[in-house]
Amino acid sequence: MRMLKYVLKRIALMFFVLFVITTICFVLIRILPRELPMEKSQQELILARWEALGYNKPLLVQYGIYWKNIITKWDFGTSWYIAYRKPAWDLLVSRLLPTVLINVYSLIFSVPIGLALGVYAAIKKNKWQDTFISTMIIVFISVPSYVYAFLVQYIFYFKLGWLPLQLYSVADAGNTYFSWKMFHSMIGPILAMSFGEIAGLCRFSRAELTETLTSDYMLLARTKGLTKAQATARHALKNAMVPVLPSIIGSFFAIMSGSLIIEQIFSVPGVGQLYMRSINTFDYDVFMLDSLFYTFIGLAGGIVIDLSYGFIDPRIRMGER
């Protein structure tokens, strides 16, 4: 019961924060200057459109209209430049699949490797294997992801010719994101994203496991006769995973927002690319919705991480004083 109360409280708070940020974004975006095109006939059309959309009314009324449209019609505005007259929500939803797909592939690829390397380094602590892995972690975590993207493109496209330079369009890949050809072209961005993720996960799991390996219950486990491998697998690993798993769950949630820069480099038609294009073309409704989307994902991810602690380790009760 207390748990439910806590969850409800967190969700209510989340919506409050979301509301405030929406307000800030809305005001900042609506007071931006709007430019009229040069052509006379176009001008009249656009002025009429602005009038109909209520852009000439006071800001507060505009804000009221914005919320009314969302609540009654689930209408977040319309894209006027990226996809003419397509509802912004539909546009966002259509961009979600490639982003999520690439990120899920990348997680599937990097989670096992990251965990395995982290556990291995922790077991071999202070030996050369650990030093090597720790050094590599620092290097791979520090280097920005787009440098990997260039390396991947350079090695796998120019030198070896194994992968295409950029993502194939859906039409090229048989009208679906799930074809083999599409996957082949996705390997590039997946690889570029994975290096950083592997290093991050490796560092986290190594740190957690080294801590549990030196704790008192490990000593107890050894004294009661377990071998080192048994004690590690049964006691240390389980406890070390308590903070690691929520972070993986968190990244599963955060993958929706994707990586702006990787999508740009590999021209993935995803949410990040949509965001960049909405900024460059001043497609304000799309920009607004995408900003909201990023905020929402960040907030919801935080809640999911906090709650998952309680599910993974029942001893941890969230919201306790």
Partner 1 sequence: MNTEFQKIDQAKFRFVNESERLHDKKFDDKPVGYFKDAWIRFRKSRASVVAAVIILAIVLFSFIAPICIKGHDQTFMVTTYAKKPPRITLLRDLGKKTGYSNRSFSARSLMKALSTGVGALDYAGNEQISFEAAMGSDYMPILEITGESKSVGADKSEVTTYMADIETYLEVGFIYKSIEQKELSNILAWEKEHGKHILYPLVENNEYCLDATDANYWYKSDAKGNPLTYNAKGTKLIKVKEYNPAFVLLDNYKRDADGNPIYYEFTGGGSVDTAQYKIRVLYINYYEYQYGEEPNYFMGTDAQGRDLMLRLAGGIKLSLLIAVAVSVINFILGALYGSTEGYYGGTVDLIMERISDILYDMPFIVVAALFQIHLAKKVGPIPSLLFAYITTGWIGTASRVRTQFYRFKNQEYVMAARTLGAKDRRIIWKHIFPNSLGTIITSAALVIPATINSESMLSYLGIVKLGSAQHTSLGTLLSDAASIWTNYPHLMFFPALTLSLLMICFNLFGNGLRDAFNPALRGVE
Binding site for partner 1 (CB under 8 A): 17, 20-21, 24-25, 28-29, 32, 137-139, 141-144, 146-147, 150, 153-154, 158, 203-204, 206-207, 210-211, 260-261, 264-265, 275-276, 279-280, 287, 291, 294-295, 298-299
Rounded Cα distance, 289 and 296, in Å = 10
**Amino acid identity at 53:** L
Residue with Cβ nearer partner 1 (170 or 279): 279
Which two structure tokens, joined as six digits, stand for 8? 């409800």
- Quote the CA–CA distance of 172 and 153 in Å, as a whole number: 20
CB 314 to partner 1: min, Å:
25
Nearest approach in angstroms of CB 201 to partner 1 is 11
Q: Which residue has the tokens 């439910």?
A: 4
Cα distance from N-terminal residue to C-terminal residue, the chain: 15
CB of 86 to partner 1, least distance (A): 22
**CB nearer partner 1, residue 30 or residue 226:** 30
Residue 267 CA: distances (Å) to CA of 190, 206, 291: 13, 34, 20
Q: Helix, strand, or coil here: 162?
A: coil
CB of 14 to partner 1, least distance (A): 9
- Closer residue to partner 1 (CB): 206 or 235: 206
Residue 21 or 170 having the CB closest to partner 1: 21
Q: With H, G, I as helix, E, B as strand and everything else as coil, classify residue 165.
A: coil
Residue 86 bridge partners (DSSP): 79
CB-wise, 276 or 318, nearer to partner 1? 276
In the complex with partner 1, which residue's Cβ is closer, 154 or 178?
A: 154
The least CB distance from residue 182 to partner 1, in Å, is: 23
Radius of gyration of the chain from its Cα atoms, rounded to whole angstroms: 24
Rounded least distance, CB 25 to partner 1, Å: 7
What is the 8-class DSSP label of residue 1?
-
- Judged by DSSP in three states, 176 sits in coil
Q: Which SS3 state, helix, strand or coil, does residue 86 take? A: strand
Q: How far is the CB of 49 from partner 1 (least distance, A)?
A: 21
CB of 48 to partner 1, least distance (A): 25
Give the residue with the Cβ less far from partner 1, 70 or 141: 141
Pick from 115, 312, 124: nearest CA to 210: 124
| Helix or strand run (H / E) with residue 207 | helix 180-213
Coil, strand, or helix at residue 87? strand
| Nearer to partner 1 among residue 73 and residue 127 (C-beta) | 127
CB count within 10 Å of CB 48 equals 10
